[in-house]
Amino acid sequence: DAGVIQSPRHEVTEMGQEVTLRCKPISGHNSLFWYRQTMMRGLELLIYFNNNVPIDDSGMPEDRFSAKMPNASFSTLKIQPSEPRDSAVYFCASSFSSGPTDDTFGSGTRLTVV
Amino acid sequence: KQEVTQIPAALSVPEGENLVLNCSFTDSAIYNLQWFRQDHGKGLTSLLLIQSSQREQTSGRLNASLDKSSGRSTLYIAASQPGDSATYLCAVRAGKSTFGDGTTLTVKP
């Protein structure tokens, strides 16, 4: 398995533009997590899905953020409109919720909003 | 609300030294605890996973312990090497994972 795949690796966009981050979890994993990491706030859980259903989105900072998981092999995190304070590294991770396997992280998307 | 604290925030040691990183958490109702390594500008790499029913896990020069009742875990690194320099994060899992802020380790040659 290629691991958790995130795209794009880097994104630079202008304030006000829509940004879509993508994630392909490990095949067979049924939990998917979106995190944001900044120097100021560390690693924050934004939302997680279990069996494609959002379980906890309490970490989503504002209505400008939305996440979807239309099927077991794909998820998106969308920011519309983007703001400079959204600049961060966004990680996606997946795991098998009922088993002993550990969370596997993607390489992240480094987002810069100018 | 679960809170995870890692001490120290930063640690610098000479090569070859044994060291201990600490992680504490406030809610002992966890499924598991996981230690990660993050190199600067990179993603997270899982090092060790300890289930709530386990006391410790070992992988090579790494040993992680878990005392759920006291809300503590330690990561022991034996014979440290410059390549061990990174930020080490612990995360406790109960449905979702809650991360500490990490300990940044520098091992000097």
Å from A105 to nearest chain B CA? 6
Angle at A51 between CA A46 and CA A57, to 5 degrees: 20
Contact assignment for A55 to B95 by CB distance below 8 Å: yes
| pLDDT string in tens for chain A (114-residue length) | 679 999 999 999 999 999 999 999 999 999 999 999 998 888 889 999 999 999 888 889 889 999 999 999 999 999 999 999 999 999 999 988 755 567 889 999 999 999
Joined tokens for residue B52:
């709530």
**Preceding omega of A61 cis (within 30 degrees of 0):** no
Contact assignment for B43 to A48 by CB distance below 8 Å: no
Joined tokens for residue A72:
């077991």
DSSP letter for each residue of A52-97: TEEEE-TT--STTEEEEEEETTEEEEEESS--GGG-EEEEEEEE-T
The owner of tokens 């930063």 is B10
